Amino acid sequence: MTIEAMRRRRGLPLVVCAPSGTGKTTLIKKLREEFPLNFSVSCTTRPPRPGEMDGRDYVFLDRAAFLEKRRTGYFAEWAEVHGNFYGTPLQPLLERLNRGEDMLFDIDVQGAAQLALSLPEARFVFILPPSLEVLARRLRDRGTDSEDAIALRLTNARMEIGGCHWFDAWIVNDDLKQAYAELRAFYLAAALRPSLQPGLARSVLEGE
């Protein structure tokens, strides 16, 4: 094996989860503006929101098409959230990780648990709201959901927070600047893990 091959680094799968309204999208946007993180584009059966583009934000599928892809093992992970399906295509993901690209996943806790089994090298961070009361206010301030939809999101938030004990890190988004500093530090530390570049130390010894 050549020195170059020994020093080749596999990409990091970085998984960020949070209840709706926690500020996850803003934090992810800031991280991608600073670092060359590639976004893992999920498939979903939910309708596009204003400003979203098919193939950039999500691949929008009807329910029948999604279920057929799931049946054939197309997804690395999939989940049903708020009555809609979401899934991450497996093969494009593996190809990009093998090229050394760090991949960012914006998925729910169900999907993260599946991804932990299929990608053991992944690292997982959960964004928490300061309180459920603050989360409810943020959801109402968005002005995009009915009261029934907000109630469902809060119910799901309680379940997600109750099941996030296995994540590698928790970040409370009370202050955006501080929350981003913590997310940034977590990513940089995770990207240096020896398991992503197992031949590095050997390359130093054999390159003498």
d(CA 99, CA 97): 5
Establish whether 45 is an annotated binding residue: no
pLDDT 10s per residue in the chain (208 long)? Answer: 566 766 788 999 999 999 988 999 999 999 999 999 998 788 999 999 999 999 988 999 999 999 999 999 999 999 888 789 999 898 889 999 999 999 999 888 888 999 998 888 999 999 999 999 999 998 898 878 888 888 988 999 999 999 999 999 999 999 999 999 999 999 999 999 999 998 888 888 887 5
Of 131, 163, 147, 160, nearest to 139 by C-alpha is: 147
Is 18 annotated in a binding site? The answer is yes
55: alpha, beta or left? (left if phi > 0; alpha if psi -120 to 50): left
Instruction: Note the residue count of the chain.
Output: 208
Annotated ligand binding at 19? The verdict is yes
Is there a binding annotation on residue 21?
A: yes
Q: Say if residue 44 carries a ligand binding annotation.
A: no
Residue 195 marked ligand-binding? no
Q: Is 88 a known ligand-binding residue? A: no
The reply, when asked if residue 2 is annotated as ligand binding, is no
C-alpha 186/C-alpha 130 separation (Å) is 19
- What are phi and psi for residue 27, nearest 5 degrees? -65, -45
Sorted by where each starts, the structural domains of the chain and their CATH numbers stand as 3-40+101-206 (3.40.50.300)
pLDDT value of residue 6 = 67
pTM of the entire predicted model: 0.83
